[in-house]
Amino acid sequence: MRTKPEPDALDGSGARWTYTRRGYALSQSLRQLKQQRIASLGTLLMLGITLALPVILYFAYLNLATLGHRSLEGESITTYLRTNVSDIAGAELAESWSTREDVARTDYLSKEQSLAMLGEASDISSVIALLGVNPLPGAIVVYPQITDVATGSTDRLAEVLRSIPEVERVQLDLRWVRRLAAAISLLAWIGGLLAVFLTLSALLVITNTIRLELARRKSELEVANLLGAPRHFMNRPIIYTGAVYGLLGGLLASITGLMVLNAVQSPADTLSSLYQNEFTVSMPTMTQILLVISVCVCLGLIGAVSSLYRPSQHFRQ
């Protein structure tokens, strides 16, 4: 006849690692999450949602910064040479400009290339053909080194080019780039402020949760104190709880952020293509996601440590 085996007390109830000081602390933190499933889930959801917005703002800022950089990258100064400047002289001039420190590269468009481009872009090539001669000048497209628009370095370069005798006209339009940069800067500020407020909210959520946790564990802390547990032994499970909340909250916020980016990727790309822009919404890199999670873990740790200040005083004896 089979009998129910006697409960085995020889090995304890937990895994081997839970009987070390750090393992004990971690197991107590995880036990709390498990025992208070609904409450923990609610706290995590609140944390995840609170942290999600700063994370979304951060991911959006990364994309907008790329957009601004790309806009500057594509920015160029078109210099139209005088008609009496030959293609050879024009090409030499372009080559000499490309050696300047404030110039990334130059492209020379010969008179023939200019005519061909005009022909592609409009239907006046037949009119020009009637003239018998090519009236278009050669042009040099100058790509400045990428710098902040606000510094005015591109304006200064345009001024220098204007003063060169072979140059007839310089065409430069940075107004929309400036507007974009200013808009991105404003968004970054607003987003940054929002992120700070929301991050503080998340910190308060963690701190409050851990204060409640401390109240719940009062008897355990008292027993540990009576048994001569060092302060760090009593504090460690609480600090680990803060870190676990931060980690899970950060993961939840990152997943939410990725889902939002994924959702807006398609419409944003469609909008970008309408403006003939190569910009596409890109997903954050693993490093950026890890950065977000690390910041959230730090928030959890800060919340836990600030909650512990008074209990540590209480158990100082």
Partner 1 sequence: MISFQNVSLEYRLGKYALENLSFDLKSGSFTFLTGHSGAGKSSLLQLIARLTRPTSGDIQIGNIIYSELGVRQERALRQQMGIVFQDNQLLHDRNVFDNIALPLIIGGYQFDDIKLRVNAALAKVGLEQRGSEKPINLSGGEQQRVGIARAVVARPKLLLADEPTGNLDSEISQEIMQLLKHFNASGVTVVFATHDEHLLQTYPFQRLTLSNGQLVNDESTQSAHGSRKRSSTRKVY
Position 229 contacts partner 1 (CB under 8 A): yes
Q: How far is the CB of 241 from partner 1 (least distance, A)?
A: 15
Position 165 contacts partner 1 (CB under 8 A): no
Q: Which segment (129-137, 164-172, 214-222, 271-279) binds partner 1 by CB under 8 A?
A: 214-222
Q: SS in 3 state form for the chain? A: CCCCCCCCCCCCCCCHHHHCHHHHHHHHHHHHHHHCHHHHHHHHHHHHHHHHHHHHHHHHHHHHHHHHHHHHHCCCEEEEECCCCCHHHHHHHHHHHCCCCCEEEEEEECHHHHHHHHHHHCCCHHHHHHHCCCCCCCEEEEEECCCCHHHCHHHHHHHHHHCCCCEEEEECCCHHHHHHHHHHHHHHHHHHHHHHHHHHHHHHHHHHHHHHHHHHCHHHHHHHHHCCCCHHHHHHHHHHHHHHHHHHHHHHHHHHHHHHHHHHHHHHHHHHHHCCCCCCCCCCCHHHHHHHHHHHHHHHHHHHHHHHHHHHHHCCC
Q: How far is the CB of 308 from partner 1 (least distance, A)?
A: 16
Position 313 contacts partner 1 (CB under 8 A): no
Q: Which of 120, 228, 276, 287 binds partner 1 (CB under 8 A)?
A: 228
Q: Which of 1, 10, 130, 215 binds partner 1 (CB under 8 A)?
A: 10
Contacts with partner 1 by CB under 8 A: the residue count is 30
| Interface of this chain with partner 1, residues 29 to 48, rule: CB under 8 A | 31, 35
Position 61 contacts partner 1 (CB under 8 A): no
Q: Which residues bind partner 1 (CB under 8 A)?
A: 6-14, 16, 19-21, 24, 31, 35, 219-220, 222-224, 226-231, 233, 316-317
